[in-house]
Chains A and B, each alone.
Chain A
Amino acid sequence: MIPKELSTNTTNTWCPGCGNFAILNAAKSVLAALSNEGYSLSDTVLVSGIGCHAKIVDYINVNSFYSIHGRATPAAEGIKIGNPELTVVGFAGDGDAYGEGLEHLLFAAKRNINITMIIHDNRVYGLTTGQYTPTSPLGYKGRSTPKGSAELPFNPIELMLAGGATYVARGYSHGLELLKKLFREAILHKGFSVIDVLQVCATYFNEYDYYTERVYELKDHDATDYEAAWRRAGEWDYNGDAPIALGLIYRKAAPCFDASFKKTGGKTPDRTEAINRFLSDNK
């Protein structure tokens, strides 16, 4: 299989130069490669929220759950709980995952449920035409904050480390090979994986030059060292001027929430007996 075979007939409506194309291409490439290695794409489900990012599921011909704003994560968790044999890959925006749906993302990390969440972090609301998001820098002038946002941004890498995610990485939409590497690792990682992808919104917040000047790929970083991960996470606070590390920041082997669940096929045979036993115990 080649990535192109995973396309649908749907017309792509992202703006020219949108960072989402890199995520789409990396995702198709990794899914095609995994399929060639024997992973069944029939057993793979893609999930998205609402926002520009979310159209990605219309563009990839794989099972999908196009959820609602902020709720990609719990839908993805439910799919994994419903059938733990499925590979579940969620896509969400920064407004989506770090704003409306932050609670769910943190709890998924806390549970270490074996799913992957790829966050299209363009640090602006695109589809609703340019408002500040939880990761927009202080003073960001958007349509809801014409005088500049008065809030500091979240650092999602720190949030995810604090939450208990066991695979935490950062990518950049201008760096396809790294994205492919990270997506693949994250999907194969047993536990909750999250990748914050700095993704350029060409229309409302084009930070291409800002990122390109500052990003560097992590080398000689021990991703199993929790303290070292926190140091890397804190290096750039999504606000000030600092080097921006790309790559795997933290990885840990830990038990998964879904490991105890099995796919249950309809009624288990002894249910009637169990019900009768309960009834007679309550006489």
Chain B
Amino acid sequence: MNEFSILIGGRAGDGIDKAGLVIAYMLNRLGYYLYIYHDYPSIIRGGHTFSIIRASEEKVFTHADSVDVILAINKETVELHLKRLKPVSVIVYEPKTIGDALTSLRPDQKALAVPVATIIKEEDAPPVTGNSVMIGALAKVLGIKWLVLEEVFRRKLPKATDKNLNVARRGYDQAETCFHTNDLDQDGLPLLTGNEALGLGLVKGGINTYIAYPMTPTSNVLHFMAANADNFGLKVIHPESEIGVILMALGCAYTGEHVAVGTSGGGFCLMTEGFSLSAMAELPIVVVLGQRPGPSTGLPTYSSQTELHFALNAGQGEFTRFVVAPGDSEESYLWAQRALAAAAKYRIPVIILVDKNVCEGVCSFDASSLDAVAVPELPVPEGKITFKINSYEHDENGITTEDPGITKAMQDKRLAKTKELAEELDGYNQVGVYGNRKSPTAILCWGSNKGVCVEAARSLDLKVIQPIVMSPFPLKQFKKAMTGVEKLIAVENNATGQMAKLITEHGFNADRSLLKYDGRPFSVDELESKLTTIAKGHNP
């Protein structure tokens, strides 16, 4: 198979996330490119959770709705996901819990019963190893050699490896081979979450201190940085609140450190006074802002793109800000470095605007084509110079002033950074263009929709335009990207078309908007079908 998807489902707390990763590592070992979508509720135990692991011989950026194999350890997985099975497909199930839920299968949809509970009981293994039984069965279904599974288990399941292998073997022997999976005979790429890629970018960019209060979907940046703080030589702090976070970060920046903070919309609400202080005091700061559906607490573990205009406008007063919305792990890694560099060089606040899909989606990470960026050193308060910074309007010595002349001069000085920054950024690719560049119909997307739009455009022969930098808006590059476009379809995960609104401020219009705001990302098959309807329509 060139491209296929596997769904594994169960209850929250049953290790579905980890099982999905092990499956991905197994396919990675064969040289496939991977993407994992993990769907989970905002609870610790119980509730339904599932992962869709998509493997392909080409790089993939998103998940698909229809799947080739379902691994169902409980009835809920069958009830919720059976409709995802492709016409020719396999469901591996636990007969004890699933019973007659499988009666609606079509002729070429094969059901393989694997008595998970019996196997782990006979092998005297803990309940969580039920996932390993399923993975064993999956390996057999996909025609993967036992040695591959064994090697991956030994590397990725260092605890109770033999027990896991024993039960996996039982699952393997119980199942039968239904598909042929190629060994692509190439090295797999590292499988990273976007949060890890972003964290690595910050590390590469020279970050000294990372400060955050936990908040989905960026908590895992905090966890990643904390777990690896010694390896990377950085300080990681988890203070009392997001207000504490950003003020502490600005204190660190005062001493000459490169600092970043991480949060989601609710936490960023608390940070905005510090964000504005950063601009006034000219203290560099990078904010990793992971969007999720709101208003308020919203859907904490799901995805949205609703904070573009919040990011563009947060904080009192008028000031230069750099807002960048990377669309995948590689862009997160690259732009995290540039974010630190720009913050330091222009002494401004920077937002890296991401969302749950960029943050928590796992994909094959290929940094080989990315260029490194230099990060300038910051001035440090030492020697004979007295270094005074101030939240009030101040003169060049940092002393408070209300003088009208100085007030205007300082405001002009700070705002002049926008032009300088924009000129520097013009040297980078700030607007991604993909697909058929000559197509008169183009998809406008941003952030995590990049991947799904690029894939959909590939099969529908459309053009994709993805602004990466949001502020200062890359007008020149956007204009160029729009050359020859007659019909522009905005694809966004929000209810009001925030990117479409942004381009109208710059004299452009989206002809149609395809908006999804139920907390779930577009899958590639879903988007293809919706775009087909719109793109073929003569009268938009």
Q: Which residue of A lies closest to B199 (CB)?
A: A278
With A78-B250, A81-B209, A103-B240 as given contacts, are A58 and B399 in contact (CB-CB < 8 Å)?
A: yes
Instruction: Count contacts between A and B, CB distance < 8 Å.
Output: 169
Q: Which residues of A contact B209 (CB under 8 A)?
A: 81-82, 264
Instruction: Write the A49-63 contact mask toward B (1 if CB under 8 angstroms, else 0).
Output: 010000101100111
Chain B's closest residue to A80 (CB) is: B251
Instruction: Please tell me if B190 contacts chain A, counting CB pairs below 8 Å.
Output: yes
Given A71-B273, A77-B239, A82-B251, list of 5 further CB < 8 A pairs?
Answer: A66-B394, A68-B274, A71-B243, A268-B232, A282-B365
- State in angstroms the CA–CA spacing of A268 and B206 once bound together: 8
Taking CB atoms, residues of chain B closer than 8 Å to A128 are none
A-B contact pairs, 19 of them (CB 8 A): A61-B386, A62-B386, A63-B388, A64-B390, A64-B398, A65-B281, A66-B388, A66-B394, A68-B277, A74-B239, A78-B249, A78-B250, A78-B251, A81-B251, A82-B252, A264-B209, A264-B234, A271-B204, A283-B191
- Say yes or no: is B480 at the interface (Cβ < 8 Å to chain A): no
- In the complex, A107 has a CB within 8 A of chain B: yes
The 8 Å CB contact of B233, one of A78, A83, A268, is A268
Q: How far is the CA of A78 from the CA of B383 in the complex (A)?
A: 20
Question: Chain B residue with minimal CB distance to A68?
Answer: B391
Contact surface of A with B, Cβ cutoff 8 Å = 8, 10, 42-43, 45, 47, 50, 55, 57-58, 61-68, 71, 74-83, 86, 103-104, 107, 261, 263-264, 266-268, 270-272, 274-275, 277-280, 282-283
B248 adjacent to A43 (CB under 8 Å): no
Interface-central residue, A47, A55, A75, by most chain B CB under 10 Å? A75
Bound Cα distance from A266 to B250, whole angstroms: 16
B244 touches A103 (CB 8 A): yes
A75 to B281, CA, bound (A): 12
CB atoms of B191 and A81 under 8 A apart: no
CB contact under 8 A between A77 and B390, given known A271-B204, A271-B233: no
State whether B244 touches A107 (Cβ < 8 A): yes
**Are B273 and A68 touching (Cβ within 8 A)?**
yes
CB closest chain-B residue, reference A275: B200
Q: In the docked arrangement, what's the CA distance between A65 and B384, Å? A: 17
Q: Interface digits, B364-382 against A, CB 8 Å rule (1 contact, 0 not)?
A: 0101000000010100011
**A-contact bits for B130-154, CB 8 A (1 contact / 0 none):** 0000000000000000000000000
A61 to B388, CA, bound (A): 9
Is the beta-carbon distance between A81 and B398 smaller than 8 angstroms?
A: no
A79 engages B190 (CB within 8 Å): no
**B interface size (C-beta, 8 A):** 63
Q: Please report which residues of chain B, range 195-215, place their CB below 8 angstroms from some CB of chain A when the two chains form the complex.
A: 196, 200, 203-204, 206, 208-209
Contact B240 A107 (CB under 8 A): yes
Contact B244 A65 (CB under 8 A): no
CA distance A10 to B209 in the complex (A): 35
User: Which of B203, B255, B399 lies at the interface centre, i.e. has the most chain A CB atoms within 10 A of its CB?
Assistant: B255
B508 within 8 A of A: no
**Which of A107, A277, A283 touches B239 (beta carbons < 8 Å)?**
A107
Check B257 for interface membership: any CB of A closer than 8 A. yes
Interface residue? B192 (CB, 8 A): yes
Please state if A74 and B386 are interface contacts (CB–CB under 8 Å). no
CA distance A279 to B191 in the complex (A): 8
A20 to chain B, nearest CB (A): 15
- The residue in chain A whose Cβ has the minimal distance to the Cβ of B362 is A282
Contacts known (A45-B381, A82-B253); A279 close to B247, Cβ less than 8 A: no
* 8 Å CB interface, B234-291 against A: 234-235, 237, 239-241, 243-244, 247-259, 273-274, 277, 281
Counting from the closest, the 5 A-B pairs by CB-CB distance are: A78-B251, A82-B255, A268-B233, A74-B247, A82-B252
> Smallest CB-CB separation from A81: which chain B residue?
B252
Q: How far is the CA of A58 from the CA of B375 in the complex (A)?
A: 32
Contact of B190 with A279 in the complex, beta carbons under 8 Å: yes
Whether the Cβ atoms of A82 and B257 lie closer than 8 Å is yes
| CB of B231 closer than 8 Å to a CB of A | yes
Question: Would A264 and B387 count as touching, CB distance under 8 A?
Answer: no
Choose from A55, A79, A272 the contact partner of B254 (Cβ within 8 Å): A79
* Nearest chain B CB to A270 CB, angstrom units: 8
A50-B391, A78-B252, A264-B234 known; A63+B247 contact, CB < 8 A: no
- With a 10 A CB-CB cut-off, give which of B188, B204, B384, B400 has the most chain A CB atoms: B400
Interface residue B305 (Cβ < 8 Å from any Cβ of A): no
A115 to chain B, nearest CB (A): 10
- Residues of chain A within 8 A (CB-CB) of B228 are 274, 278
Q: Is B389 an interface residue (CB 8 A)?
A: yes
Identify B388's interface contact among A43, A57, A71, CB under 8 A: A57
Q: Which single residue of chain B is at the shortest CB-CB distance from A47? A: B251
The answer to whether A75 touches B233 (Cβ under 8 A) is: no
* Distance A67 CA – B237 CA, assembled complex (angstroms): 20
In the bound complex, how far is the Cα of B196 from the Cα of A274, in angstroms?
Answer: 13
B28 contacts the other chain (Cβ, under 8 Å)? yes
List chain A residues, Cβ under 8 A from B383.
42
Closest beta carbon of chain B to A64's beta carbon, Å: 5
Q: Are A283 and B231 in contact (CB under 8 A)?
A: no
| B311 CB, nearest partner CB in chain A, Å | 21
Report if A282-B398 is in contact (Cβ < 8 Å); known contacts: A81-B237, A271-B233: no
Provide the residues of chain B in CB contact with A268, threshold 8 Å: 232-233
Q: Tell me whether B310 is interfacial, beta carbon within 8 Å.
A: no
Chain A residues with Cβ below 8 Å from B204 are 271-272, 275
* Cβ of B299 under 8 Å from chain A: no
A111 and chain B: residue at smallest CB distance: B239
Complex-state Cα separation, A10 to B382, whole angstroms: 22
CB pair A77 B248 closer than 8 Å: yes
Interface residue B189 (Cβ < 8 Å from any Cβ of A): yes
Partner of A8 from the list B252, B257, B399 (CB cut-off 8 Å) is B399
Checking A68, A78, A83, A282 against B248 with a beta-carbon cut-off of 8 angstroms, the contacting residue is A78
Contacts of B384 on A, CB cut-off 8 Å? 42
Report whether A82 and B256 are in contact in the complex, using a CB–CB cutoff of 8 Å: yes
